[in-house]
Amino acid sequence: MKLLNIELNKDVISLGVGNLFRFILLVIYSRLQTYFLSYEELSKFYLVFSLYTFFSFIIIGPIGIYVTRNIIEWYKSNQLISGLKSIYIKLILPISVLAFISIVTAGYFLNYDINLLIIGGIISLIIITKTANELIYPFFNLIDRNTIYLILIILFHLLNPLFSFLAIKLYEPTHTFWLLGLIFSNLFVAIIGWRILKKVSKEDKIINLDFKTLKTFSLYIMLGNILGWILTDGFRFVAENEIGLSAVGILILGLMGASQIFANIENFLNQLLSPKYLQKISNATYASRAKAFNDLFTVAIPLYLSLAFLVTLIAEIIISVIIDKSKINEILITAFVIGIWIEFFKALINIVKNISTSEYKTQAMIIPYLSGALVLIIGFALGYFYDVTSISKLILLSYASIFIFSLIFLNTIIKIKLDILFIVKRMIPILILTFVFNMFSDGLYRIISLPLYGIAIYSIINYYLKKQAR
């Protein structure tokens, strides 16, 4: 299919439209949340959610990476249902119980104005429902059943704000009731997704999971994620003592806004690129896996650079859309812009990490994440980072450190060979467009330049998809 002599890929179109609708729903969610919840309740929401992400990011996340690495092979061998059941019953449910006990027990040593039993129960329920949902719906994207995949995603993002809104309207506008919407929306979509999954999958065979391999595979990711959690969530507990609860609310709102935007973009790109990459490395030789990674990384660099430039240029417009105007100020905008470049480095780190997972050498990420955590800890210890802007810059510096050390250590596992000429050629039009956008304040020039950004970015995506289809 061609339009204006540009070859259009049906997957790009369908996933693009789906993600646009998803983005609109995310905007609705964010606007409702920032309208109904005060800065204090927003801070409590993010702090409570940080406790959930501790278990999700550190314990459940590594298991999810293992599942993603093996899910296509399970599907082809008719072991998918058995594999997911085994993972969920033997690992996820016990983790949810562990989370409840840990939070209620350890929480007595924390000075937060929250009911520990309620919060422990909520976090446990989020783990049970959200993990169930996230184990199911990505599978459909990996086997190119994108219609089902998009329906499940859109349904979740439709129900999430609806249920949260109903909860706070029926009871009160607090972080606790807002989180109930997250629980019920994940539960509803997980049930639907499971029923579809059982119909799509062939006759299931009993799988004997190698928990020893899973343990070894996950352990090092877990250790790295502990260090990563300090950067994504743990710093909030220190920052609250340094700058106060309201300032933390501004900081987190700016960084989370950037994360929300960039994560949505990254998810869209993963939906397009990851299935091709995973198909290339499944049951493949070392040489094939190395080539698959270098093809992906070569394309990822100009893609994420282009998107980071674009989002930075229109930052104020985006903020006015996703955040209620009562919460917007200059400090928030600055945190958002810095947050975009934090997300840029996080996205590239996620790409580079593919080396460690494809080769089952997840220990290689320990030192990179340790370097990032040390930068953050030393920064706070020196006392130079004492406000929203400086803390944002410190986190950016930490992620830059992780990226640099990731390249150094992972290059010893798979030799990183980038097509520098391709990257330079793709970045030249982006840099020209960025220059034009900054030079001319006239709205006409900016309106013209934005679609050109889109064409340049699309050409990079299409190049990769066509190359992998050969």
Tens digits of residue pLDDT in 47-84: 777 778 778 777 777 787 778 777 777 777 788 888 88
Q: What is the DSSP letter of 363?
A: G
Q: What share of the chain is helix, strand, coil (3-state, %, to 5)?
A: 85, 0, 15
CB 258 within 8 A of CB 336: yes
Report the alpha-carbon distance of residue 59 to residue 221 in Å, rounded.
Answer: 9
> Which of the given ranges, 71-75, 190-194, 379-383, 436-440, has the highest pLDDT on average?
190-194
User: What pLDDT was estimated at residue 468?
Assistant: 66
| Number of residues in the chain | 470
Report the alpha-carbon distance of residue 296 to residue 463 in Å, rounded.
Answer: 11
Q: What is the DSSP letter of 8?
A: P
Q: What is the mean pLDDT of the chain?
A: 80
CA angle 422, 427, 431 (to 5 degrees): 165
CB 264 within 8 A of CB 18: no
User: What pLDDT was estimated at residue 72?
Assistant: 76
Quickly state the pLDDT bin for 1 (edges 50, 70, 90): very low
Report the alpha-carbon distance of residue 406 to residue 299 in Å, rounded.
Answer: 18
* Radius of gyration from C-alpha coordinates of the chain: 22
Q: What is the DSSP letter of 411?
A: T
Residues 83-93 have pLDDT tens digits of 888 888 888 88
Token pair of 463 as six digits: 């190049």
Sign of the CA dihedral 440, 441, 447, 451?
positive
Chain-centroid distance, C-alpha 250 = 21
User: What pLDDT was estimated at residue 240?
Assistant: 65
> Which of the given ranges, 204-218, 325-339, 344-358, 425-439, has the highest pLDDT on average?
344-358
Report the alpha-carbon distance of residue 467 to residue 448 in Å, rounded.
Answer: 30
Quickly state the pLDDT bin for 391 (edges 50, 70, 90): confident
User: What pLDDT was estimated at residue 175?
Assistant: 83
Report the alpha-carbon distance of residue 278 to residue 139 in Å, rounded.
Answer: 12
193 contacts: CB under 8 Å, gap ≥ 6? 133, 136, 137, 152
Chain-centroid distance, C-alpha 108 = 31
- What is the pTM assigned to this prediction? 0.69
At residue 78, the 3 state secondary structure works out as: coil
| Per-residue burial over 136-171, b = 16 or more CB atoms within 10 Å of its CB, e = otherwise | bbbbbbbbeebebbbbbbbbbbbbbbbbbbebbeee
Token pair of 255 as six digits: 């960084």
User: What pLDDT was estimated at residue 2?
Assistant: 42
- Is the pLDDT assigned to residue 356 strictly greater than 90? no
Residues 263-322 have pLDDT tens digits of 878 877 887 787 778 778 877 788 888 888 898 898 889 889 888 888 888 888 888 877
Q: What is the DSSP letter of 60?
A: I
Residues 216-273 have pLDDT tens digits of 777 777 777 777 777 776 666 666 666 666 777 778 788 888 888 888 788 778 877 8
Which has the higher per-residue pLDDT, 462 or 285? 285
> DSSP of 386-407, one letter per residue?
-SHHHHHHHHHHHHHHHHHHHH
From the list 267, 28, 265, the residue with the least C-alpha distance to 146 is 267
Cα–Cα distances in angstroms (integers) from residue 133 to residues 100, 106, 127, 192, in the given order: 20, 28, 10, 9
CB atoms near residue 322 (< 10 Å)? 22
User: What pLDDT was estimated at residue 397?
Assistant: 93
Name beta bridge partners: 3.
6
User: What pLDDT was estimated at residue 184?
Assistant: 93
- Is the pLDDT assigned to residue 155 strictly greater than 50? yes
* Strands 6-7, 2-3: pairing kind: antiparallel
From the list 145, 236, 255, the residue with the least C-alpha distance to 196 is 145
CB atoms near residue 212 (< 10 Å)? 8
User: What pLDDT was estimated at residue 444?
Assistant: 58
Name the amino acid, one letter, at 176: T
Residues 160-180 have pLDDT tens digits of 889 988 988 888 888 888 888
How many CA within 13 A on the CB side of residue 402? 34
User: What pLDDT was estimated at residue 470?
Assistant: 61
Report the alpha-carbon distance of residue 465 to residue 454 in Å, rounded.
Answer: 17
